[in-house]
Structure formats: C-alpha cells, structure tokens
Chain A
Amino acid sequence: MIELYVLLGLMIAGAVIAVEVKDLLSAVIAVGVVGLALSIAFLLLRAPDVAITQIVVEIAAVILLIRATLNRDISSRPSAGRPFGAVMGLAFLGLGVLASLTAFPEGLSPFGSPLMTVSAFYPADAMSGTGATNVVSAVILDYRGYDTLGEATVLFTAVVGVLAVMRATGRRDAEGSGESHG
C-alpha cells in the first residue's frame, strides 16, 4: 500500500503548511489540498460513498472559509504567539504519539483485518432483508435510520443557528429588511 503512505505524507505536509504559513489565504488553500488527498485515500481504501461525500463537502467548506478570510486581516503580524498554548500543544502531540506507539499494537487489530463481530450481519442480510444492493445506504437508512434522523436534526439546528447569528442587526442584501436597531 505504498500509495496510501504517499497520500498520508502529503496530508501531514499540507497540515503543517496550513498551520504555520503566515498568509491566511494560503492556509485555506492548504486545507483544501488536505481534503482532496483525503478523498483519494478514501477511494484507495475501497469507500466510494465516503469519497464522493468528502470531496463535495470539502468544496463547500473551502468556499465558506475563503469568504471569511477575503478582505479581512490578510497577513497577520509576526506575533509572539501564545507560549503556554504552544507548550501544551507540543506536550499533547508528544503524549499522543507515545500513547499510540504503545497502545495501538495491542489494542487495535492489525491494519487489513477488521474484527467484524457485529457488522458481519449487514452484508449478509442486505439483499434479502431490504432489497438494496448498496449496503452502506441500507445501513444508514434502514438498519440505523434513527441515527440519520438525528443527523438531519443537527443540520437543521446548525442552519437555524447560522441564520440567528447573522440576523441580529444591520442591513440585508437579498433577503428583504431585517430589524436595524442602533
């Protein structure tokens, strides 16, 4: 799986660039590259539904991020940073890598052989129980439809929240007039 390691290396390089570069627009473009490499990695790991969803959601997120950074604080001053936060961040990084090196060989099954104890039922039953040939669609809409209802509720709440946050004062452009109190 040499292609997978190349993509993971590209993702880590893109993430380091996104975090450390001074210009905000370049950081947003680097996040776009990380998302694109992630979508190709999903294709290599035999997950086509997830790859399609990742690439289109990535495009929508980059559009929103560019709107937030354009014409704003384009280049931040070279700043002192937050030294306590930087130390804590690096300590967390070291702790995380150390924990993964000790815990992953014993706790996780080796890469390439999943323990399918619960989910061996789903591919075996999907065609006769639901009649769908896409097992992932059968899982999210028939066997675990309640989780999809919860996710639709979260999306609805986020839309209501965005509309409420952006509506407090001021002039509106395409939506009619909001209240404008001073």
Chain B
Amino acid sequence: MTLIVRTVTRLTIGLILLYGLYIVLHGHLTPGGGFAGGVIVALSFINLTLAFGGKTSAGVFSGESAHLVEALGAIMFLALALLGLQWGGFFDNFIHADGEPGMLVSAGIIPLANIAILLKVGAGIFSIFLALIVVQNFEEGDRQ
C-alpha cells in the first residue's frame, strides 16, 4: 500500500478501536450496542491487514487467536443465559439493578452481554475476512 495509506492508518487505527469499545460499553445508554461496536473493532483490524499486509497483522492478532476469542464470546453469552436459570428463568436478569439508570454501572446483565457479543461478532467478521482475502492463488491449486 502507498505511503499515504500507511501513515493515515498508523494515526487513526487506535482511535477506531477505542471508538468501537466506547460504543459497546455505553450500549445500554446511547445508541449502538454490541453488534455495531463489534463490526467497528473488526474493521480496525481489517484496516491494519489491508494497509500493512497479512504478516504484520498476524503478529498483532492472528487467525488462531481470532477463533479462540470468538469461541470465548459464545461461551460467555451462553453462561450468562444459563446462570439466569439459578435465580429466575432462562435469560433472567439476575444482577438486580443497584445503580440508577443513566450511570455506566446499571442495567443488570446488559453490559456483560454486550461485551460477549463484541467478542463474538468482532472476531467472527475478522476471521471471515482473513479466510476470504488473505488467501490468494486459487486457480492453480484447484483441479480436482
């Protein structure tokens, strides 16, 4: 990639990652939520891969760690759902609200579920991207 793309990527990639985390953590107060924030975090890693190549971005966040993080997100979401069975029903909001609405620590399991969705969606979109774009040279290897 050219020098302009690399310089702008180096300046803005941290801001994009931080903005995605902000949207997820404030998902119960302002518009956004886990899905939009997860795709924004995945887009920041996609930006890194497109600007600097597959080898550099594999040093930062490789494909195997993406699979691990995605599985962790799914397990965390399921654990939150099943733990609700202890206190109420399936998916019951078992952390009863101590904070008042409008503060960051409030609304029961909703921020934790947002973080689980961030891990799952962000790592999933990034591993789809790695499988489709980083792999090249299909035509020769494909005679079956």
A residues lining the B interface (CB < 8 Å): 48-49, 52-53, 56-57, 59-60, 63-64, 67, 127, 130-134, 136-138, 140-142, 145-146, 148-149, 152, 155-156, 158-159, 162-163, 166-167, 169-175, 180, 182
Contacts and interface: CB of A to CB of B under 8 A. Distances in A.
B141 A171 contact: yes
B52 interface: no
User: Chain A's interface: helix, strand, loop or mixed, by majority?
Assistant: helix
B102 to A, nearest CB: 6
A140 B131 CA distance: 30
Contact of B32 (A49, A131, A133, A180): A49
Given A159-B124, A169-B144, A175 B36 contact: no
Contact of B39 (A60, A130, A136, A163): A60
A159 B135 contact: no
B46 interface: yes
A169 B141 CA distance: 7
Given A49-B31, A145-B81, A132 B58 contact: no
A174 B55 contact: yes
Contact of A60 (B31, B32, B125, B136): B125
Contacts of A145: 81, 91, 113
